[in-house]
Amino acid sequence: MGQVVLITGGTSGIGLSLAESFLAEGASVVVCGRSQTALDRFSRAHPEALAVQADVTVPEARAAMLAAIDDRFGRLDVLINNAGTFVVRDFAGDDEATVALDQEIDLNLTAPIHLTGEVLRRWPPLAAIVFVTSGFALVSPTRAPTYGAVKAGLHGFADGLRRQLAPQGTHVLEVLPPTTDTPMNAGSTGPKLPPAEVAAVTLKALRQRRPMALPGQTRLMPTMLRIAPRALGRMVAKL
């Protein structure tokens, strides 16, 4: 048996591409999601994997999921915090801009932090922990400032956690994809990166033990933040 890998939100989009890429490399894969229909579809396509219905924002659901992994495999090697949501919020013109804000923050920021802590308590040391954030973690999108805020928070958590876990050899990788062709971005116009490309860049970064994976156009963002931050801000304003 290869590595045991848990991917949250693993039934569609980037998570599904990651699951299929790890399966192709011989890993034992666990995915979780809230939709039983999507989980059943995943299981039919990949009967060798474990699909668990779990809302990662619910402590009891996280505990049951980890127990199922322990029962099936007895260990976990790689945790991929991928589940998330994108919510457009107009604070300049919408009186209800903060509707369901707590749920957004919980799914995108609080839940992955809790899950990371729970996994580390159960299976130290892990081989790797992956956080799928966004290029918007570096420059927040005008139409969804809270999305930028929570992804920036996860970016900061990954940065500090990387230094904490370095002595025990756990690799902490942050993946910052651009707008990707996923169900979450179905209504977005403009170019979208194929999720399979995000998965390929992620696995390469894991093999090379890089701190960050920058698929597609996000590979230019760190340099632009240093030399042309205003120009980058104007570009993001159009997204």
Q: Concatenated DSSP letters for 37-62?
A: HHHHHHHHH-TTSEEEE--TTSHHHH
Of 20, 9, 63, 1, the closest CA to residue 183 belongs to: 9
> In this structure, what CATH number is given to the domain that contains residue 129?
3.40.50.720
pLDDT (0 to 100) of residue 50: 98
| CB-count exposure of residue 122 (10 Å: 0-12, 13-18, 19+) | middle
Residue ranges of the chain whose pLDDT lies below 70: 1, 183-191, 224-225, 235-239
pLDDT (0 to 100) of residue 106: 98
CA–CA separation, 34 vs 31, rounded Å? 11
Active site residues: 147
Residues 52-111: pLDDT tens digits? 999 999 999 999 999 999 999 999 999 999 999 999 999 999 999 999 999 999 999 999
Q: How many domains does the chain have?
A: 1
**Partners of 180 in the beta sheet?**
193
pLDDT (0 to 100) of residue 51: 98
Q: Confirm if 176 and 221 have CB atoms less than 8 A apart.
A: yes
**pTM, 2 dp:** 0.92
Number of H helices, E strands in the chain: 9, 7
pLDDT (0 to 100) of residue 184: 67
pLDDT (0 to 100) of residue 80: 98
CA atoms within 13 A on the CB side of 63: 3
Q: Confirm if 201 and 215 have CB atoms less than 8 A apart.
A: yes
Give the domain range for residue 214.
4-237
